[in-house]
């Protein structure tokens, strides 16, 4: 589910779970392990991207709706641990957005140091409210640190999904490029920052990301039960079931 390619000191990790790289427990666990292995192997920079025409469609709704309370807790704990691993990663990470990145896919990208997206008609955003989900304080904080408080409030309350140019305009995306140039554009940015004095860069990067680490750890400690309750609410489940039925899929429910 994770494809790995090395080019010198830069490693590309590709989410490879057809058809839309939806994040289930196994994929999240493999991504966390891949990041841990990159640190162990002395990788200096990581590119995170998706296979096919989608970065990630977000959390696997079908799997989540099939779980009982214990299963939901395990799944969401795995998600939070993956986010914590991203926040603690010692090397810079570029999200190379090759296609759609809604909800959990956008969350993964916002944990990266830079987001580069292919121009076109793909959509990106935190659309939790539009599919009946309560996003929670961590996602609000994540969005605020990216685009500012006022715009974060508007985007989160409306569940907006933005096309690449609009995403770049508001600051969700840092740079646009073509599909063919996406890998080289991501590599070029990593090479620029890795050419900086290593100790100063590492210390400064840790400084500017410490709020992200603290927010993620705090959410893991304090917000997990709220997240589980939100997923278990009748209104949320009915909304998500309608969403799955509109795509021709329906989970086996407990």
pLDDT tens digit string along 162-218? 999 999 999 999 999 999 999 999 999 999 999 999 999 999 999 999 999 999 999
Q: What is the 3-state secondary structure (H, E, C) of 120-161?
A: CCCCEECCHHHHCCCCHHHHHHHHHHHHCHHHHHHHHHHCCC
Among residues of the chain, what percentage have pLDDT more than 70?
97
Question: Does an H or E element contain 116, and which?
Answer: strand 114-118
* Per-residue confidence (pLDDT) for residue 131, from 0 to 100: 86
Question: Cα–chain-centroid distance for residue 248?
Answer: 25
Calpha distance 154→224 (Å, rounded): 25
Selection from 26, 24, 103 nearest residue 65 by Cα: 24
Residue 254 has pLDDT above 90, yes or no: no
Q: How many angstroms separate the most distant Cα atoms in the chain?
A: 55
For the whole model, what pTM was predicted? 0.94
- Helical residues (DSSP H) of the chain, grouped into ranges: 25-40, 61-65, 69-88, 104-110, 136-147, 149-158, 164-170, 182-194, 198-222, 224-232, 234-246
pLDDT of residue 250: 46
- Which CATH number, 3.30.70.20, 3.40.50.2000, 3.30.70.1520, 3.90.226.10, labels domain 2-179+198-246? 3.90.226.10
Which of 170, 139, 121 is CA-nearest to residue 58? Answer: 139
Contact 103, 53 (CB under 8 A): no
CB atoms inside a 10 Å sphere around CB 67: 20
Question: At residue 253, does pLDDT exceed 80?
Answer: no
147, 206 Cβ separation under 8 angstroms: no
Tell me the mean pLDDT in the region 229-251: 81
Q: What is the pLDDT of residues 139-155, one digit of tens each?
A: 999 999 999 999 999 99
Catalytic site residue from 26, 128, 154, 238: 128
163 is catalytic: no
Average pLDDT over every residue of 221-244: 89
Mean pLDDT, the chain, whole residue set = 94
User: Where do the domains of the chain lie?
Assistant: 2-179+198-246
248 falls in which pLDDT band (50, 70, 90)? low
pLDDT at 245: 84
Q: Say whether pLDDT at 252 is over 60.
A: no
When pLDDT is averaged across residues 216-222 and rounded to a whole number, the result is: 92
- Whether the per-residue pLDDT at 249 is higher than 50: the answer is yes
pLDDT at 121 over 80: yes
- Residue carrying the six token digits 């935190």: 126
Residue 251: pLDDT over 80: no
């Amino acid at each position: 589910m994770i494809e790995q390619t090395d080019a010198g000191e830069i490693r590309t990790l590709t989410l490879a779970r057809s058809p839309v790289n939806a994040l289930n427990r196994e994929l999240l666990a493999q991504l966390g392990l891949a990041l841990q292995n990159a640190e162990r192997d002395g990788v200096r920079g990581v590119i995170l991207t998706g296979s096919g025409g989608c970065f990630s469609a977000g959390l696997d709704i079908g799997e989540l709706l099939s779980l009982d309370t214990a299963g939901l807790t395990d799944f969401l704990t795995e998600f939070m641990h993956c986010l914590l691993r991203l926040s603690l990663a010692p090397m810079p990470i570029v999200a190379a957005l090759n296609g759609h990145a809604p909800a959990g896919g956008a969350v993964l990208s916002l944990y990266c140091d830079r987001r580069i997206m292919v121009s076109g008609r793909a959509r990106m955003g935190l659309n939790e409210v539009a599919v009946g989900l309560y996003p929670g304080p961590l996602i609000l904080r994540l969005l605020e640190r990216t685009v500012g408080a006022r715009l974060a409030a508007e985007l989160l309350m409306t569940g907006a999904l933005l096309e690449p140019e609009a995403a770049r305009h508001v600051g969700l995306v840092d740079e646009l490029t073509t599909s063919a140039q996406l890998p080289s554009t991501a590599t070029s940015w990593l090479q620029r920052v890795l050419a900086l004095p290593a100790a100063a860069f590492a210390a400064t990067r840790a400084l500017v990301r410490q709020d992200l680490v603290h927010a993620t750890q705090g959410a893991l400690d304090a917000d997990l039960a709220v997240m589980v309750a939100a997923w278990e609410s009748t209104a949320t489940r009915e909304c998500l079931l309608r969403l799955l039925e509109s795509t021709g899929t329906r989970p086996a429910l407990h």
